[in-house]
Amino acid sequence: MIPGAESHGVNVDIDRQEVERLLSVTPADVEAADELTFARNVFVPLTTACRYTCTYCTYYDPPGQASLLSAEEVRDICRTGAEAGCTEALFTFGDDPDERYTAIHRQLEAWGYDSIHEYLRAVSEIALEEGLLPHANPGDQTREQMSQVADVNASMGVMLETTADVRAHAGPRSKSPGQRLATIRTAGELGVPFTTGILVGIGEDWRDRAESLLAIRELHERHGHVQEVIVQPVVENERWDSGSPDLATMRRATAMARAALPPEVSVQSPPNLAPVPELLDCGVDDLGGVSPVTDDHINPEHAWPAVDRLREIAAEAGVPLSERLPVYERYLDDGWCSDRIETAIETDTDAGKRFRAVLDDGQ
Ligand SMILES: O=c1nc2n(C[C@H](O)[C@H](O)[C@H](O)CO)c3cc(O)ccc3cc-2c(=O)[nH]1
Ligand SMILES: C[C@H]1O[C@@H](n2cnc3c(N)ncnc32)[C@H](O)[C@@H]1O
Ligand code: SF4
């Protein structure tokens, strides 16, 4: 039984035979993708306050020090991004920050917002005004929270991390695999195109990796909403000195993801954290969001490569590289996005033209 699954009311049936099949998968068993995609984004670290204290994470700040970007700051970042040709505003920040930090709650109140989700809605609107498509990853969300922002986001996401009960998530406030699965399921129920993934090297074993991927597959089979699964290595930083997975581990984990997931679900490898050229034959077909203008605030010591470097990587592998939007095209074609997002893409503005040029690039 997956920890927390019962208390969050999620029921995923992991097929034991499938676990055994995945445990025997090697990179030689999967095919290299015949094309690679990426998105151009700006990273907007809305707040560094977080209810959790994952031991691998340097992003969160203790209460008292945490900060909140103002609407003007968000607008500046988005404007710079749009001018640099980006299409995506990536809102990734601490989990339920207003729950534990009174200072954040008070600041939101002073600006006229009841909750971080009300504020997320407002800043998503700012991103749209500035010509970017929002993709928010606020961590775990309830159905009420997600409903509050779904129509102003092109897609959303949360990393499952792992279905295992690992020490990295231990402590009085910790991520619960069941709650992560409930968030992914809620996205499916609300029809939100979704990004998730596994974090490799946080104390999970091979069986846990297989189970995590199968849990994602099952939720996708029910709802069809998972656009991509990130296979992310944990990287060392001042809080995490327990190492990073080696190349052989990343190759096998990436191949396992490819073998576990149906072909329409992309396998994403982050080019600032993983040795992408050595993973391409393991089934990677997407390089995620890279930013020409902002840092990866979660892993600030790992700069994103320039788009030219991605072109080199693709050329060396002999596959075409194309830019995509934060929402995969099949969801647009099948009417998953709100009128708001569709209008942003179809309108006759500079932003609309930029979005449509990216869609044409993917043809
Ligand atoms: O640059 C990063 N982008 C991360 N992204 C963004 C991702 O690279 C792109 O923004 C998506 O591919 C959407 O286009 C995430 C998105 C999610 O929904 C969930 C988790 C992540 C994690 C990261 C991350 O650690 N670093
Ligand atoms: C947004 C995502 O960032 C990831 N994340 C947090 N800390 C690290 C780290 N040290 N290395 C790699 N990924 C990390 C988690 O998977 C989280 O869900
Ligand atoms: S990984 Fe996310 S949930 Fe965990 S401490 Fe960092 S910001 Fe919080």
Span 10-38, pLDDT tens digits: 999 999 999 999 999 999 999 999 999 99
Q: What is d(CA 326, CA 201) in angstroms, rounded to the nearest whole number?
A: 27
Q: Note the ipTM here.
A: 0.96
Instruction: Please compute the mean of the pLDDT values over residues 100-108 and round it to a whole number.
Output: 90
Residue 235 beta carbon below 6 angstroms from any ligand 2 atom: yes
**78 labelled as ligand-binding?**
no
* Residue 295 pLDDT: 87
Q: Is the pLDDT of residue 135 over 90?
A: yes
pTM of this prediction?
A: 0.97
Nearest C-alpha neighbor of 229 from the set 298, 294, 158, 164: 158
What is the C-alpha separation between 211 and 203, in angstroms, rounded?
A: 14
Mutate to test the pocket of ligand 3, among 47, 57, 58 (most ligand atoms within 8 A of CB): 57
Q: What is the dihedral of CA 280, 282, 283, 288, to 10 degrees?
A: -50
How do residues 45-55 score in pLDDT, each as one tens digit?
999 999 999 99
Per-residue pLDDT for 99 more than 90? no
- Of the pLDDT bands very low, low, confident and very high (cuts 50, 70, 90), residue 363 is low
> Residue 361 pLDDT > 90, yes or no?
no
89-113 in b/e burial notation, b at 16+ Cβ within 10 A? bbbbbbbbbbbbbebbbebbeeeeb
Cβ 95 under 6 angstroms from ligand 3 = yes
Count of positions (residues) in the chain: 363
Residue 282 labelled as part of a binding site: no
Using DSSP bridges, classify how beta strands 226-233 and 286-290 pair: parallel, antiparallel or unpaired: unpaired
Q: Determine whether domain 16-361 maps to CATH 1.20.140.10.
A: no
